[in-house]
């Protein structure tokens, strides 16, 4: 008899400021009942739609599948709700797991306590069912459980389908100091409106993340294709043949556009070496070009209509920012002079760098990068 297909509720998590980019991506990928929320996007569908999200979403860092919802105003209700969840349908006594929680109520004010009570309910139910319990493993568990408790007491319990941050694509073999994350790079490309055909340039490329993410998008390389080892393969409703079919379909869609121009440059030879190694790992060695060069020598072709996205150096301390003013003055003059008709996007620490740039932004997107608040500004030169 055919297995009954159950639709689930999912939540794709993204960094602050990336919600609109993720929502655009989810709508383009035609996920059902998509809804933008703070911190991510909701959608629904059968189990394989969760797998597809893990495989294909570029702007998400995690995809959670909801297991249960219940009312949890205090510790007693929380423990009772946790015990009533059918954990035996998800894992066995031989499994390992971790629990993370966020949120609070008047009586539940500590997220670690919420996670502890949920853990207690899980292991007590499993012990009652099997006479044994799964073990906690906070480093590399089979299942990562996440609970969110709203002030109203609504508690949502979910499992992380990826089991690892999805920004870890698998191509970053080498890195440099303060690289832009893969998800922020993907969001910047989404916000830029880049068509995937016109030239894409980064004159301060570091280890190449922005150029590589652009290349993967243009070539239809699914972000999960490079390292498809995900937690959902250990879930009881996993279907290996269906998943292999999804992977094969994703591989068949990969195609690098003819004459695609992807270029990055940096003054640091080690960074350029890292970018080349990473591009090769991403399958882009034949089309992504990286060179050692100063931004002073950035002379893109006139009339290219290129998109330039970059993460310029900036200091954390106020004194560091003051030292960078001459650099940003030079950068602004260079972009005005040499990039007519281009779309430019820059990650900046705050709006104070706009004055030395002397460029009028079209839009800005507040984000968080490595624990720092940054803004992604977009500019159209000569517009």
CA dihedral in degrees (120, 126, 127, 131; nearest 10)? -170
Q: Taking the CB of residue 135, how many other CB atoms lie within 10 A of it? A: 13
List, for residues 100-156, the tens digit of each pLDDT value: 999 999 999 999 999 999 999 999 999 999 999 999 999 999 999 999 999 999 999
> pLDDT per residue over 71-97, tens digit each?
999 999 999 999 999 999 999 999 999
pLDDT per position as a tens digit, 208-230: 999 999 999 999 999 999 988 89
Q: Looking at residue 2, what is its pLDDT?
A: 56
Domain ranges of the chain: 8-160, 182-219+256-380
Q: Which two tokens stand for residue 153?
A: 């007491």
d(CA 152, CA 163): 29
Quote the pLDDT of residue 373.
86
Q: Is 83 helix (H, G, I), strand (E, B) or coil?
A: helix
**In this predicted structure, what is the pLDDT of residue 43?**
98
pTM flag (> 0.85): yes
Q: Are 291 and 272 in contact (CB under 8 A)?
A: yes
In this prediction, the residues of the chain whose per-residue pLDDT falls under 70 are 1-3, 178, 315-319, 370, 383
101 has which bridge partners?
Answer: 147
Query: What does the pLDDT read at residue 316?
Result: 56
pLDDT computed for residue 169 by the predictor: 95
Strand partners, 32: 44
- In 3D space, the residue among 87, 85, 92 whose CA is nearest the CA of residue 155 turns out to be 85
Residue 121, helix vs strand vs coil: helix
Order across the sheet with 96-103: list the strands: 32-37, 40-45, 8-13, 62-71, 154-160, 143-149, 96-103, 135-136
Sheet containing strand 343-348, edge to edge, reads 288-292, 262-266, 200-202, 307-310, 343-348, 372-380, 363-369
Written as six digits, the tokens of 313 are 């150096």
CATH class of 182-219+256-380: alpha beta
Q: What is the DSSP letter of 365?
A: E
- Enter the CATH code of domain 8-160: 3.30.2130.30
**For residue 212, what pLDDT is reported?**
98
CATH topology identical between 8-160 and 182-219+256-380: no
232 exposed, middle or buried (CB, 10 Å; 0-12, 13-18, 19+)?
buried
């Amino acid at each position: 008899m055919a297995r009954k297909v159950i639709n689930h509720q999912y939540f794709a998590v993204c960094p602050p400021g990336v919600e609109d980019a993720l929502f655009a991506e989810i709508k383009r990928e035609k996920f059902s009942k998509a809804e933008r929320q703070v911190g991510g996007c909701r959608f629904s569908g059968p189990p394989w739609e969760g797998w597809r999200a893990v495989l294909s979403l570029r702007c998400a860092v995690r995809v959670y599948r909801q297991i249960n919802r219940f009312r949890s105003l205090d510790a007693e209700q929380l423990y009772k709700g946790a015990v009533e969840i059918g954990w035996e349908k998800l894992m066995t006594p031989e499994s390992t797991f971790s629990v993370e929680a966020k949120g609070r109520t008047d009586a539940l004010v500590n997220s670690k306590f919420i996670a502890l009570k949920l853990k207690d309910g899980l292991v007590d139910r499993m012990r009652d069912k099997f006479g044994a319990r799964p073990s906690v493993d906070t480093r590399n568990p089979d299942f990562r459980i996440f609970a969110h408790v709203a002030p109203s007491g609504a508690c949502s319990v979910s499992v992380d389908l990826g089991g690892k941050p999805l920004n870890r694509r698998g191509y970053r073999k080498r890195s440099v100091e303060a690289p832009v994350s893969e998800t922020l790079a993907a969001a910047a490309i989404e916000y830029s409106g880049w068509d995937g055909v016109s030239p894409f340039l980064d004159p301060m490329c570091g280890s190449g993340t922005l150029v590589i993410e652009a290349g993967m998008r243009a070539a239809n390389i699914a972000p999960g294709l490079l390292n498809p080892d995900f937690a959902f393969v250990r879930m009881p409703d996993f279907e290996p043949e269906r998943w292999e079919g999804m992977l094969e379909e994703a591989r068949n869609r990969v195609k690098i556009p003819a004459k695609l121009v992807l270029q990055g440059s940096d003054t640091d030879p080690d960074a350029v070496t890292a970018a080349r190694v990473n591009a090769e790992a991403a399958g882009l060695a034949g089309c992504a070009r990286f060179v050692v060069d100063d931004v002073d020598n950035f002379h893109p072709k006139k009339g290219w209509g290129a998109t330039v996205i970059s993460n310029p150096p900036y200091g954390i301390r106020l004194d560091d920012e003051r030292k960078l003013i001459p650099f940003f003055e030079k950068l602004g003059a260079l972009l005005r002079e040499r990039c007519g008709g281009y779309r430019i996007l820059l990650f900046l620490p705050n709006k104070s760098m706009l004055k030395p740039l002397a460029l009028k932004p079209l839009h800005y997107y507040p984000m968080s990068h490595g624990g720092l608040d940054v803004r992604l500004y977009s500019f159209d030169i000569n517009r």
